[in-house]
Structure 1
Amino acid sequence: MAKRVIYIHGFNSSQKSYKAVRFGELMANYDVDYCVPNLNHEPLQAIIELEQLLTPDTVLLGSSLGGFFATYLSQRYQIPAVVINPAVAPYNLLQSLLGPNYNPYQDYHYDLNNSHIEALKLLAVDKLAHPELLYLLQQTGDEVLNFQHAVKYYSQCKQLIEFGGDHSYVEFERTFASIVDFLKIT
């Protein structure tokens, strides 16, 4: 039974993301500690921050880059996780964003550099050792990430593939019951 639910936001996002807030509203009906940390832009620092929040009864929910982090944590610590339109290889996608960046949700400027890309490569899970711990929620209309990469990578995991939608995961609320069921939130 889950007692701590950690929502992991995506790249240049925050605890104020729509899905984080909406899922938090649902979690108010459950006896759980719902956490949504504002993550550092440095991948290894973000992982350290997340690892410090883990308890033996933690479950994870991650979106986009947060899905990448949730996959890493799930497989390393054998924690159930739901990944929403996850980044499978963010080190490839973020190459085009090297240089000055601004996170409008956390209101700070930073430089994305090759050390961030290399750190993401270190966190990549080549083969899922515990696919039963992961649940993929994927919409084919994702305009940021190629949905086929996620469908293939998570092929041994439980999956909900929806045609259409976009990177934000349109009508995310419809998935609440299946997320709660998979993560065994009571």
Structure 2
Amino acid sequence: MILYLHGFTSGPQSVKARALGERMAARGLAADFICPQLPASPAAAIALAEQIIEQHRKVGAADTANNGVKSAKITLVGSSLGGFYATVLAEKFNLNAVLVNPAVINQLPMEDFIGTHRWLYTGEPFEFTAQHIAELRALERPRLSQPERFWLMLEEGDETLDYRQAAAYYVSARQTVLVGGDHSFTRWNDYLDEIIDWSVVPRT
């Protein structure tokens, strides 16, 4: 199963989320894709993702007990802030993760984001507060314990985040770094099948 975690003001309607979900559906894997609307609160966003992961594990354990079929492990796909969340969750639950132009929180001036924002696809306002920054700081990991679980995807033309920050933090992970592009990762569709294949290949 792929759990897609969207970026700061994004949502399940994002271009990348929809493209990946549609490609999985075309390959008969529609039931193995989930992309929830994440709350503005980082702590709440992580809690929601953890709930989904734990529920998947319970269902998988029941399937194994009942019919001996082992459920596929979750792979996380995270974009921008969702890439940070995916990193936190992958480290906690020993999961594999694809990170698309991810945010490296300790390199960002988070105070600049305090204030009112709007969800890109609904237009609804939300507040980003100092408490949310504290929640992000509490989630930070100084380094990866298992970099082989990560696939970092960057475009050097990212106008929102400095791609070099992520390249340095995930230095020991698999990396795809492309010239040009922007924060949306313009060549996303070129990698959909490879992402799906990488996500379903059994790994330790």
**TM-score between the two structures when normalised by the length of structure 1:** 0.93
Q: Within 5 Å, give how 1:51-130 maps onto structure 2.
A: 51-54=50-53, 55-56=56-57, 57-89=73-105, 92-130=108-146
State the 1:163 CA deviation.
0.7
| Contact 1:91–1:121 under 8 Å retained in 2 | no
State the structure with more CA Rg: 2
Q: List, as ranges, runs of 4+ consecutive aligned residues in structure 1 with deviation greater than 4 Å.
A: none
Q: Structure 1 pair 12/25, CA: closer, same or farther in 2 (3 Å)? A: same
Find the counterpart in structure 1 of residue 33 from structure 2: 34
Q: Which of 4, 16, 20 matches 1:19?
A: 16
Find the counterpart in structure 1 of residue 6 from structure 2: 9
Find the counterpart in structure 1 of residue 61 from structure 2: none
Structure 2 unmatched runs, 5+: 58-72
Count matched residues.
Answer: 183
Q: Matched residues in 1 for 2:109 and 2:7: separation?
A: 13
Q: Within 5 Å, give how 1:106-185 maps onto structure 2.
A: 106-184=122-200
State the 1:114 CA deviation.
0.7
SS for the counterpart of 1:53 is helix
User: What's the CA shift string for 1:47-99, capped at 9, x where partnerless?
Assistant: 00000111342111000000000000011110000000000117834321212
SS for the counterpart of 1:121 is helix
**TM-score between the two structures when normalised by the length of structure 2:** 0.85
| Contact 2:40–2:127 under 8 Å retained in 1 | no
Q: Structure 1 pair 134/30, CA: closer, same or farther in 2 (3 Å)? A: farther
| Contact 1:7–1:36 under 8 Å retained in 2 | yes
User: What's the CA shift string for 1:124-182, capped at 9, x where partnerless?
Assistant: 11110010110000000000000000000010000001011000001211112331232
| Contact 1:88–1:150 under 8 Å retained in 2 | yes
Aligned-residue RMSD, C-alpha: 1.6
| The 10-residue stretch of structure 1 (145-154 or 172-181) with the greater mean CA deviation from structure 2 | 172-181
Q: Matched residues in 2 for 1:90 and 1:7: separation?
A: 23
Q: Within 5 Å, give how 1:45-56 maps onto structure 2.
A: 45-54=44-53, 55-56=56-57
Identity of aligned residues (%): 34
State the 1:10 CA deviation.
0.2
